[in-house]
Amino acid sequence: MGRHIKGPLDQFNVTELIGLKFDILGKFYLAITNISLYLALVLVVIVSIFYFGDNDSKLVPNKWSIVLETFFASLKGMVKDQIGLAYEVYLPLIFSIFFFFLTGNLISNIPYSFAANASAVVSIGYSLTFLLGVTIISLFKHGNKFFRNFIPEGTPLALVPLLVAIEFTSYTARGFSLGVRMFANLFSGHCLLAILSVFGNQLLSVS
């Protein structure tokens, strides 16, 4: 019974790897952790896909460049449907989000690896910063007309304060909820996998 039993939640521990530790103001600290390792791994994987798919501007595509180009074409079509005519400005953003989280999640399916997107900071923090960024961009672009977003057309004047409150909360909650969706899915999925594997091992082993 001296064996330290790992629970299913221990897989999400953020441990420091190399021990490079910076204490900022005695309270916050910055280190090279396993999250940073796996995020770097995500970056390396994506960059290597782009490197292999770089066909030297030949017309006939590589195997890897077929992959890249199908991703590009499907994402471009999706973005064009949603945003409309001035969509090309926002294509790198959508593309980067898509690829980053996709490869992060796929890497976490490998056994004994770490789910970088299962941490609350990465998922929810990303969605909140994205919401903030989008609000700032739209404020700069549209000015005061941005606040027309919160009033649906054709509402009677008496209902406007209530509706504005509701729309505003839904707008801010959307930033939070999108991150929570991904976080909850990954967290619960990996927890389930850990539990199943541990109990399956205990069930099926003879000891």
Partner 1 sequence: MPQLDQFTYLTQFVWLCVFYMTFYVLLYNDGLPKISRIIKLRKRLVSQEKVGAEQSNDRVEQDVVFKECFQASANYLYSSVSGASKWCKGMVQLANAHKLQRMNKDYVCSLGEISVSQVIKKNALSTLSPSTYQTTSLASRQTTALNKIYVLRGQKRTLAKIKNGPRKKKIS
Binding stretches for partner 1 (CB under 8 A): 9-10, 12-14, 24, 28-31, 33, 35-36, 39-40, 42-43, 46-47, 50, 53-55, 57, 59, 61, 65, 68-69, 72-73, 91-93, 95-96, 99-100, 118-122, 125-126, 183, 187
With respect to partner 1, which residue has the nearer C-beta, 13 or 109?
13
Between 163 and 193, name the residue whose CB sits nearer to partner 1.
193
Give the shortest CB-106-to-partner 1 separation in angstroms: 15
Cα 4 to Cα 8, 82, 193, 198, distances in angstroms: 13, 51, 20, 14
Tell me, what amino acid is at 172? T
Residue 146 Cβ vs partner 1, minimum distance, rounded to whole Å: 24
Shortest approach of partner 1 to residue 84 CB, angstroms? Answer: 18
Name every residue whose Cβ is closer than 8 Å to that of residue 203 and which is 6 or more positions away in sequence: none
Q: How many CB atoms lie within 10 A of CB 27?
A: 6
CB of 112 to partner 1, least distance (A): 17
| Of residues 88 and 165, the one with the C-beta less far from partner 1 | 88
Q: At closest approach, how far in Å is the CB of 201 from partner 1?
A: 22
CB 79 within 8 A of CB 90: yes
Nearer to partner 1, 37 or 163 (CB): 37
Other CB atoms within 10 Å distance of the CB of residue 42:
22
- Dihedral sign computed on CA atoms, order 156, 157, 160, 162: negative
- Rounded CA-CA distance 63/65 in Å is 6
Closer residue to partner 1 in complex, CB, 29/176: 29
Residue 200 vs residues 35, 88, 116, 176, 193: alpha-carbon distances, Å: 28, 49, 25, 35, 10
Secondary structure element (H or E) that encloses residue 191, with its range: helix 160-204
Q: Which is nearer to partner 1, 69 or 167 (CB)?
A: 69
Cα–chain center distance at 148: 29
Q: How far is the CB of 110 from partner 1 (least distance, A)?
A: 19
